[in-house]
Structure 1
């Protein structure tokens, strides 16, 4: 494929959003839903910085394998219902995946601090 490009791309900071993918070694992050364990192997974390606010992790979507060997998708909203802070009860392991995603995307300007329990 022939491809050419011109210009100086500039990220605007009005309402930027970034979606970051993280591969997870199977068995290192186990998600439990309804008493069933799922081994996560990939996560997509969505970050946003609305109206020049600091970066916030909004949601995370996991690809995981169930006990039957089939792949499933699991989503977790990370913001509380008022969208002004982190949702209560999100396990620390999920916040660690979010922090990994923020670290790997640091080159796009994400400066993120995980909430403290």
Structure 2
């Protein structure tokens, strides 16, 4: 590998965002849009904590297959139009996906040690 690196990484806390991806078992969730059903196989949930505020789920993006087998992306905005609380009318199953993502992001207890040189 022809690469060198120096420095000490620093994480800023001004507007931190976390994206958590989940692989979903196909057939466990059905999303319907415009009369068409889609079976998602992956979800990506975006969380943010702007300026030290509590963490909030902002958006969920789903990768899915339609009835014709074509891949589609579906996005669900999770914040209301004023950006100060959850959007009304979001189906409960999507909030369950958000809860799973939040759990896997912070409560799983992942530990990591970099490899020794």
TM superposition score normalised by structure 2 = 0.83
Give aligned pairs, total: 107
2:114 corresponds to which residue? none
1:71 corresponds to which residue? 71
Q: Is 2:30 the counterpart of 1:30? A: yes
Distance in 2 between the 1:85 and 1:62 partners?
A: 21
**Secondary structure, counterpart of 1:45 in structure 2:** strand
Larger Rg: 2
Distance in 2 between the 1:43 and 1:83 partners?
A: 22
Q: Is 2:43 the counterpart of 1:39? A: no
TM superposition score normalised by structure 1 = 0.83
Shift of 1:71: 0.7
Greater Cα shift, 4-13 or 34-43: 4-13
When residues 104 and 2 of structure 1 are mapped into structure 2, their CA distance, relative to the original with a 3 A threshold, is farther
**Secondary structure, counterpart of 2:86 in structure 1:** coil
Provide runs of 4+ in structure 1 moved above 4 Å: 2-8
When residues 22 and 2 of structure 1 are mapped into structure 2, their CA distance, relative to the original with a 3 A threshold, is farther
Distance in 2 between the 1:4 and 1:95 partners?
A: 43
Q: Map of 1:1-117 to 2, 5 A cutoff?
A: 1=1, 8-106=8-106
Shift of 1:13: 2.2
Shift of 1:11: 3.2
Greater Cα shift, 73-82 or 4-13: 4-13
